[in-house]
Amino acid sequence: MAFYVYIIQSQMDGSYYKGFSEHPLLRLIQHNNKECQYTSHKTPWALVYVEEMESKRDALIREKNLKKATHARIEALIKHPKNIVQHFING
């Protein structure tokens, strides 16, 4: 089973939300359907970053680390080769 950390960007104000999921696309749908109270007021969201992790523990540690990241660091990650978001957007 794969574990992922993901970053979504609000199309309303450009802010980022970082999370962990086994199914990033399903999680994006939940955010956009306002099923997540924290992100419900900034819809719609776009999936901009996905990184696969070896274990749930690694994913949770990485998520915690990303939550502390600066805006500039997030933008650099989005452009980084380890961003596999295209695997999810293009099917």
Give residue 79's pLDDT. 96
Q: Which residues pair with 21 in a beta bridge?
A: 4
Q: What is the mean pLDDT of residues 45-52?
A: 98
Q: Record the tokens describing residue 91, joined without a space.
A: 């099917």
Of the chain, the percentage scoring pLDDT greater than 70 comes to: 99
How far is residue 50's CA from residue 23's CA, in Å, rounded to a whole number? 10
Distances in Å between the Cα of 60 and the Cα atoms of 3, 5, 43, 53 are 9, 8, 24, 9
- pLDDT tens for each residue of 7-20: 999 999 999 999 99
Domain ranges of the chain: 1-52
pLDDT at 87 (0 to 100) = 92
3-state secondary structure of 28: helix
Neighbouring residues of 87: CB distance < 8 A, sequence distance ≥ 6: 50
pLDDT confidence bin for 1, thresholds 50/70/90:
confident
Q: What is the pTM of this model?
A: 0.94
